[in-house]
Amino acid sequence: MSTTQSDRLRGLVEPLVHARDLDLEEIEVSRAGRRGLLRIVVDSDEGVELDACAELSRAISEKLDETDAMGEGEYVLEVSSPGADRPLTEHRHYVRATGRLAKLQLSTDGAAEELVARILAVDEDGLDLEVPGVKGRKPTARRVAFADIVKARVEIEFNRKDKKEEEA
């Protein structure tokens, strides 16, 4: 997708997304056979429900029909929330992952390290983590600066208690 088309689509879509108190995470245009594919990913601190994606999809579709931003050919529009395995790249991603287990690739003083830990708190400079204990040992606390994080991704936990469950 050209930068001009990307900027134009972002300019059309972003106000519709923000009007629904959502964050625009990604816009991707690609080809799917003879059709174009416009994929829009949105998120919020509370997550995104299917009804919100459907409502936003209708609003975006109407807006795109009023313009030629997608050109003359046919296209498919997908509006969704990010998958559970999406990379953590923005400060808000880490805030939303508080309480979750994350896999971090770190580079501290040129040394590479991989770490799986629970995100306990997030501030402007980095993360407070709880590193699970190994072989019966107690978990340990660790501080990691954002500058040391090369890659980060939430780890899927199938037996993790939901926040709502814990409060009950």
**What one-character-per-residue DSSP string does 99-148 give?**
TSEEEEEEEETTEEEEEEEEEEEE-SSEEEEEEPPSTTPPPEEEEEEGGG
CA proximity to 116, closest of 146, 84, 144, 83: 144
**CA–CA distance, 50 with 82 (Å, rounded to integer):** 12
- What percentage of the chain reaches a pLDDT higher than 70? 93
Q: For 51-93, write each residue's pLDDT tens digit.
A: 999 999 999 999 998 888 887 788 899 999 988 778 999 999 9
CA proximity to 80, closest of 116, 40, 118: 40
